[in-house]
Structure 1
Amino acid sequence: MWAMRLATFNIQHGLGPDGRCDPERLAEAVRALDPDILAMQEVDRFQPRSGFADQARICAEAMGAVEYRYVPTVAGWMSAPGLRWRARGRERYPAYGIALASRLPVRAWRRWRLPMASRWVGPAQLGVDEPRVAVAADVETPSGGFTVCATHLSSRLGNAWAQLPWLRDALGSAPRPLVLMGDLNLRDGAPATVTGWRPLAAARTFPAAGPRFQIDHILVDDDGAIRVESEARAPGTGVSDHRPLVVDVTLRPRD
């Protein structure tokens, strides 16, 4: 059996309750979680509001990751009008997106851009939604390999309900066991109902100051190969309007 700690954390560009984005405070929050694999959402890269920090790198280094991937959803200054929703080719362009970091070796990486497919129109659907993406890693352990996928679904309810089954289908050929982690913007048991996958962690994560519901999730599609070893936690960190979701698991060796 291989023991590991899984965590997902919407870091809200490292924003603290004092209104500051302190890179050392963000790094310390990740060190305290001590994850083997960490999914991150709302991650800034070279943005003025967060001190031009490369937050994915800060978090990856804080946890001792051997590999990580940053996948931008927005290119451009987050505080500027007329923001362009497209990636650019320069290495140090300002961006905002998601990341996945691992202490374990990764055999392959994949990514997807999620659809904006909602036909529902209502108050929660008003405004411009940002693009959404997912990134997956084929991870190697002494007990065998598995897939872990990180994402951040739309805050527009109709889009989130469309994106989750789309991503489930896109991951259909990925090696199992498969772990999905992220801010899914769907409450409590809804993601398990939509996907048919088993939740590994149940804890209220939002809002951070007094969590009332769970919108951050860790799910698994397997045959019982991944076992939960302790009750999931959603500790306070002093960073973000979300709490991280953390669970310790073991992976059963393949026959």
Structure 2
Amino acid sequence: MRLATINIASGRDTDGVTRLPVLGRALAELGADVIAMQEVDHLLPRSGTADQTAALQAAVQGDGPAWEMRFAAALHGTPGPGDGSRPAHASLPAVPSYGVALLSRHPVVRTHELRLAPARGRRPIPLPPGSGAPVWFIRDEQRVALAAELSLPSGTLTVVTTHLSFAPGRAAVQLRQLRTWATDLPRPLVLMGDLNLPGAVPRLLTGWTSLGRVPTFPAARPRVQLDHALADGPTGAVAPARAVPVGGSDHRGLIFDMQER
């Protein structure tokens, strides 16, 4: 089976315009069985009030058998300064939100959500040249992890997606919290997402097995790996991971093939 993780940047293309059909076609071309997504908009005005999870499910499903989809909200409202977002205490289908999502060709038995507190204070974020300032100071936001227990012919596989804090110290704390939270979830377990931690750091913090060491950011010329796949428990043989452009995201997607046990 093929798994993929991609920070979809709310479906924005390289020029900043949201083009969900372009992203949908790119995801379908991956030929994946499970797709973990981060920076997903749900009914937000900035992306045309689309249910991005549902739209992308339809794109990868095409005329084939039905796919499962799950969305978990980190925030209600549009993220960013001045847009009035607030931490989400639950995923509410009718409320405009922002978070992470999973698409699966395999049936979902049950799901679990974990919300992770942000870093305190304001953090500097580098801005592109010509922006008028070298950095932009913004507040961190609540994060969320979404786990789904999938029913495979060989048994249960748990997949988890998350997008951790851009503050490295807080991201490390969040990853440790996620590891503890996941202790009782069925194994094998595969964590996929934009962890905002480089290279071998996630493997060292969790003790789990890295399923791919390849740069994923920035998409045009990747220099650092921020997007990871980590496994705990027997997963079967895993082919070397690849980092591929997906739509107009500023991250590359991390793609890998794994044999069922």
The alignment's TM-score, normalised by the length of structure 2, stands at 0.87
**Percent of pairs identical after alignment?**
44
Match of 2:149 in 1: 138
Q: 1:184 aligns with which of 195, 203, 210?
A: 195
Q: CA deviation at 1:49?
A: 2.2
Give the total of aligned pairs: 246
Name the CA distance, whole Å, in 1 between partners of 2:122 and 2:247: 36
Q: 1:18 aligns with which of 2, 15, 18?
A: 15
Q: CA deviation at 1:235?
A: 1.1
Q: Deviations over 1:72-123 (max 9, x none)?
A: 112124478251313489743321111011110111111111134x689975
Unaligned runs of 5+ in 2: 126-136
Q: CA deviation at 1:165?
A: 0.7
| RMSD, aligned α-carbons | 2.3
Q: 1:34 aligns with which of 24, 31, 36?
A: 31
Name the CA distance, whole Å, in 1 between partners of 2:100 and 2:57: 12
Q: Contact conserved, 1:31 with 1:62, CA < 8 A, in 2?
A: yes
Moved more, 163-172 or 51-60: 51-60
- 2:21 maps to amino acid: E
Name the CA distance, whole Å, in 2 between partners of 1:194 and 1:243: 23
Unaligned runs of 5+ in 1: none
- 1:50 maps to amino acid: S
Q: Contact conserved, 2:120 with 2:140, CA < 8 A, in 1?
A: no
Q: Contact conserved, 1:45 with 1:94, CA < 8 A, in 2?
A: yes
Q: 2:114 aligns with which of 112, 116, 139?
A: 112
The alignment's TM-score, normalised by the length of structure 1, stands at 0.89
Q: Does 1:63 align with 2:90?
A: no
Q: CA deviation at 1:193?
A: 0.5
Q: Does 1:232 align with 2:241?
A: yes
Q: Contact conserved, 1:47 with 1:78, CA < 8 A, in 2?
A: no
Moved more, 43-52 or 192-201: 43-52
Q: CA deviation at 1:32?
A: 1.3
